[in-house]
Amino acid sequence: MGGFTFAHGLVLIVAASCMLAVSTANKDWKFGFNNHWPPHKGGSHHPKYRQAAPNKVIVGGSEGWRFNFSYTNWAFKHGPFYLNDTLVFKYDPPKDDNTTIPHSVYLLPNLRSFMKCNLTGAEMLANVTQGGGQGFEYVLKNWKPHYFACGQHDGIHCSLGQMKFFVMPMPHMGGFTFARGLALIVTASCMLAVGTAKKIIVGGSEGWKFNVSYTDWALKNGPFYTHDTLVFKYDPPVDNNSIPHNVYLLQNYESFEKCNLKGAKLLADVTEGGGDGFEYVLKKCEPLYFACGLHEGVHCSLGQMKFVVVPLPRPSLV
Ligand SMILES: *[C@@H]1O[C@H](CO)[C@@H](O)[C@H](O)[C@H]1NC(C)=O
Ligand SMILES: *[C@@H]1O[C@H](CO)[C@@H](O)[C@H](O)[C@H]1NC(C)=O
Ligand SMILES: *[C@@H]1O[C@H](CO)[C@@H](O)[C@H](O)[C@H]1NC(C)=O
Ligand SMILES: *[C@@H]1O[C@H](CO)[C@@H](O)[C@H](O)[C@H]1NC(C)=O
Ligand SMILES: *[C@@H]1O[C@H](CO)[C@@H](O)[C@H](O)[C@H]1NC(C)=O
Ligand SMILES: *[C@@H]1O[C@H](CO)[C@@H](O)[C@H](O)[C@H]1NC(C)=O
Ligand SMILES: *[C@@H]1O[C@H](CO)[C@@H](O)[C@H](O)[C@H]1NC(C)=O
Nearest CA to ligand 3 atom 13: 97
Can you tell me the mean pLDDT for 172-193? Answer: 42
The per-residue pLDDT for 28 is 30
Q: Going by C-beta distance under 8 Å and a sequence separation of 6 or more, which residues neighbour residue 83?
A: 54, 140, 141, 142, 143, 169, 170, 171, 172
Same-domain check for residues 40 and 20? yes
Beta strands in the chain (DSSP E): 56-58, 86-89, 105-108, 123-126, 136-139, 146-149, 164-167, 199-201, 229-232, 247-250, 265-268, 278-281, 288-291, 306-309
CB 282 within 8 A of CB 224: yes
Q: What percent of the chain has pLDDT over 90?
A: 49
Same domain, 16 and 95: yes
Coil/strand/helix, residue 31: coil
Residues 18, 159, single domain; the answer is yes
- The whole-model pTM stands at 0.53
In this predicted structure, what is the pLDDT of residue 267? 98
27 in the same domain as 143: yes
Residue with CA at minimum distance from ligand 3 atom 9 = 97
* Domain-embedded: residue 314: no
Ligand 4 site, residue 120, Cβ cutoff 6 A: yes
The total domain count for the chain is 2
Ligand sitting nearest the alpha carbon of 241: 7
CA–CA gap between residue 171 and residue 82 (Å, rounded): 6
Question: Residues 53-79: pLDDT tens digits?
Answer: 789 999 999 999 999 999 988 887 887
111/248 same-domain check = no
**Residue 191 pLDDT:** 39
pLDDT band at 10 (very low <50, low <70, confident <90, very high): very low
Lowest-confidence segment of 81-85, 153-157, 181-185, 291-295 by average pLDDT: 181-185
**Are both 179 and 293 inside the same structural domain?**
no
Angstrom distance (rounded) from CA 228 to CA 230: 7
Is 25's pLDDT higher than 60? no
Alpha-carbon distance of 200 to 208, in angstroms, equals: 12
Q: Both 184 and 198 in a single domain? A: no
Instruction: Give the domain CATH number at 284.
Output: 2.60.40.420
| Average pLDDT, integer, range 161-186 | 61
pLDDT tens sequence across 192-251: 444 578 899 999 999 999 999 998 898 788 778 888 999 999 999 988 888 999 999 999
170 and 258 inside one domain: no
Domain that holds residue 292: 194-309
Ligand 6 centroid from CA 210, angstroms: 8
| Mutation choice for ligand 3 from 95, 96, 98, CB with most ligand atoms inside 8 A | 98
Do 105 and 232 belong to one domain?
Answer: no
For the chain, what is the mean pLDDT? 78
68 Cα–ligand 1 center, Å: 6
Q: Does the pLDDT at position 176 exceed 90?
A: no
Report if residue 99 sits inside a domain: yes
Among 169, 188, 207, where does a domain finish? Answer: 188
Provide the pLDDT confidence category of residue 182 given band limits of 50, 70 and 90. very low
Using the mean position of ligand 4's atoms as its centre, give its distance from the Cα of residue 143 in Å: 26
| Close Cβ partners of 126 (under 8 Å, ≥ 6 residues apart) | 89, 104, 105, 136, 138
